[in-house]
Amino acid sequence: MLIVADENIPLLDEFFGDIGEIRRVAGRSMTAGDLRDADVLLVRSVTRVNRELLDGSRVRFVGTATIGTDHVDLDWLERQGIRFSAAPGCNANSVAEYVLSVLSLYAEKRGLDDWSQLTVGIVGVGNVGGELARRLKRLGFDVRLCDPPRAESEDQGSAFVTLAQAMKCDVVTLHTPLTRQGSHPTFHMVGQQALDGLGESQLLINSGRGEVIDSAALLTRLGRGHAPTVALDVWEQEPRVDPGLLDQVWLATPHIAGYSLEGKVQGTEMIYRALSRSLGLPVRKTANQFLPEPALSTLSFTRSASEVEATRIALRAGYDPRRDDTRFRHAMTGSVEERAAAFDRLRRHYPVRRENSSLEIRFEGANKALRDRFQAMGFKLTS
Ligand SMILES: NC(=O)c1ccc[n+]([C@@H]2O[C@H](COP(=O)([O-])OP(=O)(O)OC[C@H]3O[C@@H](n4cnc5c(N)ncnc54)[C@H](O)[C@@H]3O)[C@@H](O)[C@H]2O)c1
Ligand SMILES: O=C(O)[C@H](O)[C@H](O)COP(=O)(O)O
């Protein structure tokens, strides 16, 4: 059996080495020729999986080690009887923790000691948005949920707000898939009208897909007075990021919100499980068996440490997006093609980043409320 796989999928040999021969290919430039004699195709989000790539091949299974599936022509695969599996939720903790870190930086920028006084509108309340909402509610935030597909299909529909209502929150964070069809398409969902309504005391975060925001309209909005603060992890037309937009964005990262080691390895595990099931093979391997001990495993705070300071220190020890922002801006030099290559390089050689769950917090004299708040951020808490 020949397995053609994006070379950026971690632990290919460990998970798939005894299932078949593995041919590693650069995901962004994969062509039909790379799939000669392949039975299985494993991708990440940068490979367009469609008729052009697969027609005439003998591939019978496609797996993407990602949450998003907008790079895959699912209807065409189904018509061809090609089995497909994604990795729903694999990096939801990673993205939720990226948002928590961004919120903590934003609260500091605004001079707020109590970050939970910010209202947060979550647009798209699935695996990622749902995990974020759970954590924020435990942390005492006032959270407004916007998810029209869920609002229409669930008894609890009244628990949801409209996009216009969500866009009034102090912080608006986007977690929808990229869709161009259906009753609630998200392509350019946040357009000129929505952006014009945002004011300078608001923060807009996008870690869903770049095309959910109309970036030309965003650039226009940011060029006018009283502009909102913007944190973008995803960009229209990646890897070709508009340098003008990059200049105007407060916190810029190269589509790495989901790049915790746990998130990536769980993505591989999920497609390994799906492929094994589809081949009738036993599922023997788990992501946990391949995760190394974290470099930083414990943080201790004395009784005199303030909760605000401890929260900032712990979150930034877990993940500080400013490091990615700096690396990203430094790398964006040269021609369009050089910048695009640099964008992919930053992602390919991304440093090991661990989730908060790998960090144990020791807080002298921690009471139940304090323990609960640190646990809500994803940390392990011991006394
Ligand atoms: N930046 C990153 O590294 C990163 C990592 C993981 C996922 N993502 C992106 O985030 C997206 C969401 O991930 P998820 O796991 O939560 O997906 P999910 O499918 O579990 O949830 C998506 C939610 O969005 C809702 N939705 C759909 N259309 C909507 C609309 N018009 N308005 C509001 N809500 C709408 C759906 O009903 C669903 O509840 C993925 O599709 C992917 O594109 C990005
Ligand atoms: O959809 C996802 O899971 C994320 O966007 C994922 O982190 C994308 O990473 P890539 O496949 O581009 O490496």
Q: What is the mean pLDDT of residues 263-292?
A: 97
ipTM over 0.90: yes
- pLDDT tens track for 87-104: 999 999 999 999 999 999
Q: Which two tokens stand for residue 112?
A: 């707020």
pLDDT at 342: 98
Q: Give the type of residue at 18.
A: D
- pLDDT tens track for 345-378: 999 999 999 999 999 999 888 888 888 999 999 9
* C-alpha–C-alpha distance, residues 202 and 170, integer Å: 5
Question: Does residue 264 have its Cβ closer than 6 Å to ligand 1?
Answer: no
Question: Does residue 178 have its Cβ closer than 6 Å to ligand 2?
Answer: no
* pTM, two decimal places: 0.97
pLDDT at 106: 98
119 is in an annotated binding site: no
**Looking at ligand 2, which atom is closest to the CA of residue 91?**
3
Give the CA distances from residue 234 to residues 72, 207, 255, 368, in Å, rounded to whole numbers and listed in that order.
18, 6, 5, 37
Question: Does residue 238 have its Cβ closer than 6 Å to ligand 1?
Answer: no
Mean pLDDT of the chain: 96
Q: How many helices (H) and strands (E) does the chain have?
A: 15, 14
Please tell me the distance between residue 317's alpha carbon and the centre of ligand 2 in angstroms.
23
Question: What domains does the chain contain, in order, with CATH numbers?
Answer: 2-86+260-289 (3.40.50.720), 91-252 (3.40.50.720), 298-381 (3.30.1370.170)
Residue 157 banded pLDDT, cuts 50, 70, 90: low
pLDDT at 303: 87
Ligand nearest to the CA of 9: 2
* C-alpha–C-alpha distance, residues 110 and 82, integer Å: 51
Q: What is the mean pLDDT of residues 233-250?
A: 98
Number of alpha carbons in the 13 Å side-chain half-sphere of residue 64: 21
- pLDDT tens track for 312-323: 999 999 999 999
| Nearest residue by C-alpha to atom 41 in ligand 1 | 177
Interacting residues of 252 by C-beta distance below 8 A, sequence separation 6+: 231, 232, 246, 325, 328, 329
Q: What is the mean pLDDT of residues 109-128?
A: 97
Length of the chain: 383
66 is in an annotated binding site: yes
Question: Does residue 45 have its Cβ closer than 6 Å to ligand 2?
Answer: yes
Q: What is the mean pLDDT of residues 177-201?
A: 97
Query: Are the beta carbons of 263 and 88 closer than 8 angstroms?
Result: no
* C-alpha–C-alpha distance, residues 151 and 354, integer Å: 34
* C-alpha–C-alpha distance, residues 218 and 198, integer Å: 10
CA dihedral 314, 330, 242, 8 (to 10 degrees): -70
- pLDDT tens track for 25-73: 999 999 999 999 999 999 999 999 999 999 999 999 999 999 999 999 9
